[in-house]
A and B are shown apart, each in its own frame.
Chain A
Amino acid sequence: MRTSVSLYRDAVLGVLDRDWTTFKSYRMQLITQIASVFFALALFHFISRLVHVQVFGSRNSYFSYVVIGMIIIEVLQSTLMVGSSLQGELVAGTFERVMISPFGPVAAVLSSMIFPFLSSFVGALITLFFGTVVFGLHVHWSTAALAIPIAFLAAGSFAAVGLIFCSSTVLFKRIIGGAGMLITGIALVSGLYFPIALLPGWISWFSNVQPFTPSVDLLRHVLVDTPLRQSASTDLLKLVGFLVVLFPTSVILLRGAMRLGMRRGTIIEY
């Protein structure tokens, strides 16, 4: 048992090391990522100057509101990136080797989500840093530390979406358009850029049946002190519920997709 744990741990660390080595081998990647965070913040800073609505007490409060939405989008993108990485691995022929390794494809896919997650957390810190230092964002420091466990819970629920996306990649190979559709759709119904109260009734119900709305509400509350729509415990309970239900379901779906791909013989096609 102990040996098994250490073998899996070494393999997971191997995946992390692989992703970190690959990331730092592209020298401009970090710089361009930081620059893109800066420009996105600058864009929303100036857009917030146009906001004169009752929902937001001041222009700054809209800016605070949208910065947390940007962080959520970044975490979401990191989970969906696993689907496109998987497609890259299929093309490169590395997934074939993973398939016939004792570590196995499901464990490998799960492990390959770690680096993008960590990277998105660093991205979130950079966003908060620029937001605070350059654009005058007011972070509620007394409760900011609570964002860490909330972010982990949120990441777990979002990972489920990433795994479902991977299952689709295994079966349908190329679903890049799907990622864009998903991100835009989630941004629409989760209140990432505007309050969900603005949505018409026929679509607003959807805000309550996915993990993104409670995640963004809780993070906004602890980071920039935005009032919650419902109690923190309700949001937290929802988030835990989504994690407990969605994560195992997505792993089962991924296993099923792999088995189906093996039966069809299409598993290593791209």
Chain B
Amino acid sequence: MSDSLLQSETVRPEDRAGFSSIPAPEPGSLSPLSQTPLDAWGLARSWGKRSERTCVLENLELTLEPGSLTWVGGANGAGKTTLLRVIAGLISPTSGHVRVFGFHPERDRRAYQQRLAFLSASSTGMYARLTVCKQIDYWARIAFVPRAQRAEAVAEALHDFSLEDLSDRRVDRLSMGQRQRVRLAMTFVKEPDLVLLDEPRNSLDTEGAATLVAAIHRVCARGGAVLWCSPLGEPLGLRFDRRLLLEDRKLRPA
């Protein structure tokens, strides 16, 4: 892994290679402004009131290259989930910048979110009374999968995560492992180019884990990137292009 990918000093956006020459996107334009799936620099996030601030991320830098699979590990509370939430655009960084294929999380919100998918570390995020098929179809609509491709995308997601037999079953009647597969199907149904996974192996059996690995490989094969976060010590059974450790608010090679 290149050391430059883990530099800790802040680089101004205009100094980043390629950024100054990139024209502002047309409103509603979804063409990538950069081929880099993820570029984050000078990233910091702290919590609490001014007098008792806790800094979780500090001056952090991370670049994901096309086709790469990266693991970020760390102890509980190290800030892995915070890092993913900041990259996903769920919470704003206290300082620093994030770009997904050159898109800004707020200025180019739609283009940014169309390319990105985030699986949080829980068993939630589903409507209990919807069937598996309706659930995935709903998230495909919200993710702006065009109508002409939606039925096929949903059918593929059901197939990819071995959910075909469960497609008419309500989510609140599924086991935890089955729910996790539904959550994965919801994450991958829009064919994202940057996938953020927070402890994705939760509750998955061997077959479920294999479907996840296959989905990750498909993303990487089409030039996307995957960022996998999990605690230290969790067996991964997957070959990563890079392994990083989030420790003392910064990333370093694991």
Chain A interface (Cβ within 8 Å of chain B)? 1, 3-4, 6-7, 10-11, 13-15, 17-18, 21-22, 25-26, 92-94, 96-104, 108, 262-263, 265, 267-268
Task: Say yes or no: is B249 at the interface (Cβ < 8 Å to chain A).
Answer: no
14 pairs across A/B with beta carbons < 8 Å?
A4-B28, A14-B141, A15-B142, A18-B127, A26-B129, A93-B125, A94-B127, A96-B90, A97-B139, A100-B113, A100-B118, A102-B109, A103-B143, A262-B92
By the criterion CB–CB under 8 Å, are B90 and A102 in contact? Answer: no
By the criterion CB–CB under 8 Å, are B113 and A101 in contact? Answer: yes
* Chain B positions 109 through 133: 1 when the CB is less than 8 Å from some CB of chain A, otherwise 0: 1100110101010101111111000
Task: Say yes or no: is B146 at the interface (Cβ < 8 Å to chain A).
Answer: yes
- Identify the closest chain A residue to B47 (Cβ): A265
Given contacts A94-B127, A97-B125, A101-B113, contact A267 B142 (CB under 8 A): no
Given contacts A262-B92, A265-B91, contact A102 B127 (CB under 8 A): no
By the criterion CB–CB under 8 Å, are A94 and B90 in contact? Answer: no
Q: Across the A-B interface, how many residue pairs have beta carbons closer than 8 Å?
A: 101
- B159 → A minimal CB distance (Å): 21
- Identify the closest chain B residue to A103 (Cβ): B142
Cα A26 to Cα B128 with chains together (Å): 12
Cα A98 to Cα B109 with chains together (Å): 13
Given contacts A7-B146, A21-B134, contact A104 B109 (CB under 8 A): yes
Choice from B89, B92, B141 contacting A11 with Cβ under 8 Å: B141
Given contacts A11-B144, A17-B134, contact A104 B91 (CB under 8 A): no
**Count of B residues near A, CB < 8 Å?**
38
Chain B interface (Cβ within 8 Å of chain A)? 28, 45, 47, 82, 85, 88-92, 109-110, 113-114, 116, 118, 120, 122, 124-130, 134, 137-139, 141-144, 146-147, 150, 170, 186
Chain A hits for B127, CB < 8 A? 18, 22, 92, 94
Closest 9 CB pairs of A and B: A93-B124, A14-B141, A93-B125, A25-B129, A265-B91, A101-B142, A102-B144, A7-B144, A103-B142
Choice from B126, B141, B147 contacting A94 with Cβ under 8 Å: B126
By the criterion CB–CB under 8 Å, are B144 and A265 in contact? Answer: no
- Identify the closest chain A residue to B170 (Cβ): A25
- Identify the closest chain A residue to B119 (Cβ): A97
Choice from B47, B89, B186 contacting A97 with Cβ under 8 Å: B186
